[in-house]
Each structure stands twice: as C-alpha cells, then as structure tokens.
Homo-oligomer: A and B are copies of this chain.
Amino acid sequence: MIDKRCATIAQALHDVHDGATILISGFGEAGNPTELIHALIEQGARDLTVVNNNAGNGEIGLALLLKQRRVRKIVCSFPRGSHGHVFDELYHARQIELELVPQGTLAERIRAAGAGIPAFYTATGAGTEIANGKETRTFGGREYLMETAIHADFALIKAERADRWGNLVYNKAARNFAPVMAMAAATTIVQARHVVEPGELDPEAIVTPSIFVDRIVHVPDPVRESDHLAALDKERAS
C-alpha cells in the first residue's frame, strides 16, 4: 500500500544534504511551510541554495534559517520587506549570495524544470540589468531572453489538504508557488493542515496530483507569521 505520510517531521527531512537546492513555497506569509523549515534547522543541513519569492520575515521560518547561516545563496524576486532585517544584514555583510529573478520568470523557470523544458524565451527583463549575461533572441521583431529551468533536490511546501497518495489542495492565495515547486524537485515534502483518505478530495479539484509528491507531514495548526511579526514589533517598541 502506498502511504507517503511520515510519522515525524524529522523523518520527512532526514536525507537533506549539505549543499542541497531547496524550493520553499510561500508569498508573504501565505503558504510558507514554517514547520518544515524549522525542522530543517533542527536537521542541520547547511550550505543550502534556497529558492523562494522573498527572503524571509522577522525571525521565523526562512528568516530564521538565514539567521542560522545555513543558506549560501538565495534565488528570489523580492528580498525586501517590512521585517526583512535578517536578509538585509547578511546581504550588506556579503554573507549571502543573491540571484534576483523577476517573479514570473521565477515561477516559469520552476515550472519548466517540472515539465522537462530545459530553457524557454521570455520578453521579461529584455533591455534591463536582468538581461546581463543572458542570451537574447528576436522572435517576430521583439527581443526575448533565454531563461533556464531551476531544478532542485527538495521542495518544502504547505498545503491545506493531502491524501495518503499525495494529492493536494491549497487555501486561497496560499497556493502561489507550491504547485510548480512540487513538480520541480527530486523530493517534494509537504506539510498539510488536514490529511484525508484517497477519494475524499474531488478529482476535478485536485491542484497537485499525487505524482508530484513524495512525503507528507501532518501539521494541523501551523504557526501564523503575522502573530510572530506583531509580537516582534511589540517587543521592539517596548
């Protein structure tokens, strides 16, 4: 019988190796797999390359992973935020490498990896600094950049519901990067608020089919980043 559920969160992350490339879902605080990231901190892997839209907020989740100096390089579109001091300090101290990728190009490069497309062309970034060092090509009189797939060793994503096969649905805008990240990693690890039996998810409404998922951890009541940030603000104000 197929059962992708892991008994413990530690077990789900046991084989993350130093130097791994890890896709982490989330946009703002929606969809961040905070508990998986905290388990990754426990697990100990270092020298990581992390792909996420942002670069962490406050001192939780991705920001905490950064603070622990476990990330060599971050690939993201928007490494700024009202609570982005951890990344900021590392960046200014040149203690982290940044690859800045336009948001849509980031999503599409991840999808490309998942879909077996080694490279594609996009007009995004043509004529800008983003084009530096990239091949350009003209189609129909317009200039496009060649962008390549972003493959990863692991994806850490957050879902609303999962069944034991690994079919997933999400909650509202917490879907964001998770479906394409699930496609693009050799091993996709999911934290889900609810774990249900196969057949309970409507087959017409499954967003991530089970083929893209390797391991599932049940995290019924994930931390709310906004609570953490509010507490942080309060602490600083006092």
Contact = CB atoms under 8 A, between A and B. Distances in A.
A35 interface: no
Contact of A108 (B117, B121, B170, B171): B117
A204 interface: yes
A84 to B, nearest CB: 30
Interface residues of A, number: 25
Interface string A173-196: 000000000000000000000000
A115 B121 contact: no
Interface string A109-146: 00010011111111100000000000001011010100
A1 interface: no
Contacts of A144: 118
A7 interface: no
Nearest to A203: B172
Contact of A120 (B120, B140, B142, B202): B120
